[in-house]
Amino acid sequence: MRIIAGSAGSIPIQVPRSLTRPTTDRVRESLFAVLGDLVAEARILDLFAGSGSLGIEALSRGAASADFVESNAAACTVIQKNLEKARVKGGRVHRRDVFAFLGSLPAARYDLVFADPPYARSEAEQECLEKLLNSPGLRDSLAPDGLLILESLSSAPLPETSLWSSRDERVYGTTRVSFLVTRDP
């Protein structure tokens, strides 16, 4: 796995051993092609960060800052090492539960939020995705023109939510990437 483009382009990064499904280079390359200029100077939140590949890719492409939220200690260590290896500035690693982190944020903080929760292959994972999509803290974390980029299993429908509308959706094999905006109250 490597950083695709920007100041850290082509630099290989580590993936925590506990992760079984990091975002592939192909999916990241396509996702960032869709985002284009939205990344420059953006404030990024990378939830369920794993290796930190999404946030580090954003920093490499000119994002102003990135907060990485991951509950696994080994993954947090890998993210920190990947940040140092990529030599990008503005990254902060938070070893916390995603929902606790979201509950403690001030409103309108981030321009782009990447969320790559466990794929909904089990009831517990489906509940996690549903809880995330119905989290007022997640909705409130976005700036007014912010965008939520959500990875999920392409064969499973997204849970119903009154908080989000789909702006775009792309499927790459078993991965669906949804580009979501907040719904008007």
Q: What is the pLDDT of residues 132-185, one digit of tens each?
A: 999 999 999 999 999 999 998 888 888 889 999 999 999 999 899 999 999 876
Q: What is the pLDDT of residues 99-128, one digit of tens each?
A: 999 999 877 789 999 999 876 555 557 788
Q: Domains plus CATH for the chain?
A: 25-182 (3.40.50.150)
Per-residue 3-state assignment (H helix, E strand, C coil) for the chain: CECCCCCCCCCECCCCCCCCCCCCHHHHHHHHHHHHHHCCCCEEEEECCCCCHHHHHHHHCCCCEEEEEECCHHHHHHHHHHHHHHCCCCEEEEECCHHHHHHCCCCCCEEEEEECCCCCCCHHHHHHHHHHHCCHHHHHHEEEEEEEEEEEECCCCCCCCCCEEEEEEEEECCEEEEEEEECCC
